[in-house]
Amino acid sequence: MTIVEIAALIVAVVFAVLVGYLVPVLMQVRKTVAESERLLAKMNTELPALVVELRAVSQNLNEVTSQAREGVEHAAVLLHAVGEVGESVRQVHNVVCGSGGTLLSNVASMVAGVKAATHVVRERMKHEGGAHNGG
């Protein structure tokens, strides 16, 4: 055998070994590509429905947020009105307490004046001739 024949034989053996390794790799690549095609087909059918549902959820969330904002605004108005009612009650209470204190003070001084006048009348009656029993 000549050197060219030996080289050709080595090249043929290397080519056979290379093909032996590449055949399983190419088969695995073919399976992977087929699986990727199935996945893409499935995504193409399911993704539009998922996007529609996502938009519906987003719209519902916006509506709930809007309703919550309106509820907070109504609550703020209600709390403001309750605060005003409380302030009015406090003012009425202060007026009643202030007037009541003045009223009580006037009644007390009037009672003291009546007692003093009664005492003066009794003293005069004692000095003028005794107590009268009204008859």
- Mean pLDDT, to the nearest integer, of 98-123? 66
- Mapping DSSP to helix (H, G, I), strand (E, B) and coil, where does residue 133 land? coil
DSSP 117: H
Q: What is the mean pLDDT of residues 9-35?
A: 92
User: Over 90: is that where the pLDDT of 40 sits?
Assistant: yes
CA distance 64 to 76: 18
Distance, in Å, from the CA atom of 31 to the CA atom of 48, rounded to the nearest integer, reads 27
> Are 115 and 108 contacting, i.e. CB atoms less than 8 angstroms apart?
no
Mean pLDDT (the chain) is: 81
What pLDDT digit, counting tens, does each position of 51-108 carry?
A: 999 999 999 999 999 999 988 888 888 888 788 888 887 877 777 676 555 666 666 6
Q: Cα angle at 61 between 56 and 67, to 5 degrees? A: 130
Higher local confidence (pLDDT), 121 or 22 = 22
Tokens representing residue 37 in the block: 């095609």
